[in-house]
Structure 1
Amino acid sequence: MLNDVLGPSLDVLFCGINPGLMSEATGRHFARPGNRFWPALHLSGFTPRLLAPAEQHLLPSYGLGITNIVPRASAKAAELTREELAAGGAALAAKVSELSPKVLAVLGVSAYRTAFARPKARIGPQDELVGGARVWVLPNPSGLNAHWTLATIAAELGRLRASL
């Protein structure tokens, strides 16, 4: 199981869908080389330099953390069941309530829709709270999500950062 990256007083708790196989094997979030999370995080101004997955432990010093909706690793998020996503959403809400980040940033609109029964959710800020935190849905940074470019993912992260 991939451990969360957490710290006190988080501004943003980033939430992936579930760990990929490489992340599970290495113990590092967004570990696959084609994943755009780390470059987008830097380009959006959340980090002063490009961090490598091996440097994920530095995130709390920037007020950032990482978790996942579903803890089970898979090759593709499409392998997850609706039940797993719904159970993960409930567990995530409890975790967010305990951690009290300013914003929960979910990286994947389809997973968010299923996990929180919000079928019409779109990328961007959401009207509802999860665990008492504001919610911002972001594009999935996986290389499999090809219709979102690094530049457009970074721009969405930049919109989130500007809202803090």
Structure 2
Amino acid sequence: MTDHTHHHEHHDTGTSLTRVAISATLHCLTGCAIGEVLGMVLATWWGWSNGPSIVLAIVLAFLFGYGLTMRPVLKAGVALSAAIGVALAADTLSILTMEIVDNAVLLLVPGAMNAGLLSFLFWASLAFSLLIAFVVAVPVNRWLIGRGKGHAVVHQYHQH
């Protein structure tokens, strides 16, 4: 009976860890999606080519991702410099993973980058690329959180 109880608790912990990783990845996905969409809209409006468009989207994805993480940390009374450190520790690997996967998928879909903002191909490709990036980033976040890193760093501020 004791072995079964121990196994059950371990399974619950693993399930809980996966749920936290999914939640953290959804949070990361929100910042990445805002940055990606805004970057692509602005770059298209300004008539930029694919290279600068991707760079702008990545920079904005990091800024929005970090910003969404810093907001509750700042509300918890943490100084700006410390909140920046928390955001960097919490999100850098997750956002980097999502951006690499997201942009690789977009570049692999024929015509997606040149489809334009009014094209179904562009929006469907972007949605698909973000979905794939999410799937790849969940185990990365689970691994980080399981080691007390990544979004685990942020959760200590949610409890205060």
Q: TM-score, normalised by structure 2?
A: 0.29
The structure with the greater share of residues assigned to helix is 2
Query: Greater CA radius of gyration, 1 or 2?
Result: 2
